[in-house]
Amino acid sequence: EAQLVESGGGVVQPGRSLRLSCAASGFRFDDYAMHWVRQAPGKGLEWVSGISWNSGNLGYADSVKGRFTISRDNAKNSLYLQMTSLSGEDTALYYCAKDRGGGGFYGMDVWGQGTTVTVSS
């Protein structure tokens, strides 16, 4: 069974950095694109970033472009999100999600339980 487990969330001061990780199991990780999606408390879903199977196709939400960096290590079956210059608007539950496709993006069919990021002084 495909499974995604996020880690790395926590409480961080404004302006600081944080790195999220997502460990994948139960499927061939290097065949699929991956995403980060976040959900602020009581709000809807916001796509944050996506990466193709070979890291050749990357995308970011306008709200995080230039501050967040997505990456993956196929040898370790892991996805990462490096977040810098954090602000209160980045406070959210961050989900890791697997795409149905590899090179393109066709819908997210497996989701982790999420890791919470709280930006507060």
Partner 1 sequence: EIVLTQSPGTLSLSPGERASLSCRASQSVVSSYLAWYQQKPGQTPRLLIYGTSARATGVPDRFSGSGSGTDFVLTISKLEPADSAVYYCQQSGNSPYTFGQGTKVEIK
Q: How far is the CB of 59 from partner 1 (least distance, A)?
A: 4
| Region of residue 10 (phi > 0: left; psi between -120 and 50: alpha; otherwise: beta) | left
- CA distance linking residue 27 with residue 42, whole number of Å: 32
Residue 12 or residue 83: which is nearer to partner 1 going by CB?
83
Residue 12 or residue 35: which is nearer to partner 1 going by CB?
35
Burial classification of residue 117, based on how many CB atoms lie within 10 Å of its CB (0-12 exposed, 13-18 middle, 19 or more buried): buried
Q: How far is the CB of 105 from partner 1 (least distance, A)?
A: 4
Binding residues (CB under 8 A) for partner 1: these are 35, 37, 44-47, 50, 59-62, 95, 97, 99-100, 104-109, 111-114
Residue 63 or residue 85: which is nearer to partner 1 going by CB?
63
Give the amino acid at 49: S
Q: How far is the CB of 27 from partner 1 (least distance, A)?
A: 13
| 3 C-beta neighbours (distance < 10 Å), count | 13
Residue 88 or residue 104: which is nearer to partner 1 going by CB?
104
Residue with tokens 């961080």: 12
Q: How far is the CB of 121 from partner 1 (least distance, A)?
A: 29
